[in-house]
Structure 1
Amino acid sequence: MVAKHQGRSGRPWARIKAQWKATTRICYLCGTWIPEDVPPNDPLEYTVDHIDARSRGGPPTMENTAPAHRRCNSRKGTKPLSELELLKTSRAW
């Protein structure tokens, strides 16, 4: 029997992650660069976040996902963006 939802595994998810990696390396939550060569589980590791969490019914699509640092993604958790304090870093120029 095949699972109804594959979540963050399988070809569809791998395709979404590859498309984002080819598109941008800017974290949508804090607005800073996501480095390429960091070890797995590093706070700065490249992840793809579900904007509307899967646990809240968000679909696994390009439109509902965006690149984020592991740290930023973990901070957001399953909260909707409307409940999230801004993570963007301010710059005094």
Structure 2
Amino acid sequence: MARKRSDTLRKRHRTLIARGHPPCAICHQPIDYTIPYPDPDSFVVDHKTPFAHGGKDTLDNKQPAHNRCNRVKSDRLEQPELRQHYTNRTW
């Protein structure tokens, strides 16, 4: 059964987490808070302990993340090892 989450609480938490524009908690790179969702570099809120592992929808269980980093992490407890892709190719 899906959990019912409050949109008001969600917006309040997003605002509090984004205050000061902290870097991504997963890859530790800066987040451009002006990029709109669903861009891979947009700001999203990540649950440190995912719901699938008993995590709560509380402020202390949330952290800032890039959309792409949050998707890679998925519902894992540990932080994923994010690969940096470098190329010398020019198009």
TM range (shorter): 0.7 to 0.9
Identity, in percent, stands at: 28
Q: How does the TM-score come out when normalised to structure 1?
A: 0.76
Does the 8 A contact of 2:25 with 2:63 survive in 1? yes
Does the 8 A contact of 2:21 with 2:33 survive in 1? no
* Residues matched between the structures, number: 83
What are the residue-to-residue correspondences of 1:1-93 with 2, within 5 Å? 5-7=3-5, 9-81=6-78, 84-87=79-82
Could you report, residue by residue, the CA deviation over 1:14-46 in whole angstroms, capped at 9, with x for unpaired residues? 111110011433100000100022232100000
Give the distance between the partners of 2:17 and 2:66, measured in 1 at CA. 13
Could you tell me which runs of 5 or more consecutive residues in structure 2 were left unpaired when the two chains were aligned: 85-91
Could you tell me which runs of 5 or more consecutive residues in structure 1 were left unpaired when the two chains were aligned: none
Question: The residue matched to 2:19 in structure 1 has which SS?
Answer: helix
Give the distance between the partners of 2:12 and 2:61, measured in 1 at CA. 14
Structure of higher RCO (CA pairs closer than 8 Å, 6+ residues apart): 1
User: What RMSD over aligned residues (CA atoms) do the two structures have, in Å?
Assistant: 2.1
